[in-house]
């Protein structure tokens, strides 16, 4: 089975603020062998912010709103626009690089055989070095949830990867960036798809 790990950050229209540094939305079925008509999945949201704009409050940092369905919503089963909160708790911060990380982990129950894409979207993409336009572009962190059973009768567990954001490189120098990937469904073909820039 072909499994995709989706890295999706989309730049849109510049705005004044610039504090978002990237993130991921990852999910796994709690019991991939269930024969029930509903499936409990654990969704892990991790977002990185500019610490001087978004303070790290260990008792809970709340990003506002919910994670909507953005693609194939007619096959999203029981997922609604308020199924998944965007709230996260600060789990780490680093004043030296002006960064904080917020994470939210929660279980949601979905209809078996549903397949759709969710996305956490907003503005205020952090300003890039030497980007004199001021940064602040729009972004979208998305995840494809696919609860169609595999040929072997179980629900797929998507591959997992983590790349620290942002990555710093020296202008006109080659840098190798390692992207570790783990897929518990052995033998799956794992590929990366890269986001594209637009204005």
Per-residue pLDDT, 75 = 96
Per-residue pLDDT, 43 = 97
Per-residue pLDDT, 171 = 84
Residues (pLDDT < 50) of the chain are 2-16, 132
Per-residue pLDDT, 131 = 55
Per-residue pLDDT, 112 = 96
For residue 124, is it left (φ>0), alpha (ψ between -120 and 50) or beta?
left
């Amino acid at each position: 089975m072909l499994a995709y790990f989706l890295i999706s950050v989309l730049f849109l229209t510049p705005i004044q603020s610039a504090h978002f540094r990237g993130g991921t939305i990852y999910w796994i079925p709690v019991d991939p062998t269930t024969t029930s008509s509903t499936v409990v999945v654990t969704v892990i949201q991790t977002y990185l912010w500019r610490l001087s704009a978004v303070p790290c409050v260990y008792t809970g940092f709340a990003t506002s709103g919910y994670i909507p369905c953005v693609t194939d919503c007619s096959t999203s089963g029981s997922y609604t626009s308020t199924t998944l909160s965007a709230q996260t708790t600060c789990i780490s911060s680093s004043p030296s690089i002006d960064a904080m990380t917020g994470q939210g982990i929660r279980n949601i129950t979905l209809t078996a055989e549903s397949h759709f894409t969710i996305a956490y979207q907003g503005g205020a993409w952090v300003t890039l070095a030497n980007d004199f336009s001021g940064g602040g572009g729009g972004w979208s962190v998305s995840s494809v949830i696919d609860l169609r059973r595999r040929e072997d009768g179980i629900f797929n567990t998507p591959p997992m990867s983590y790349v620290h954001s942002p990555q710093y490189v020296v202008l006109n120098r080659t840098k190798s960036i390692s992207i570790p990937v783990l897929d518990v469904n052995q033998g799956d073909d794992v590929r990366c798809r890269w986001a594209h820039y637009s204005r």
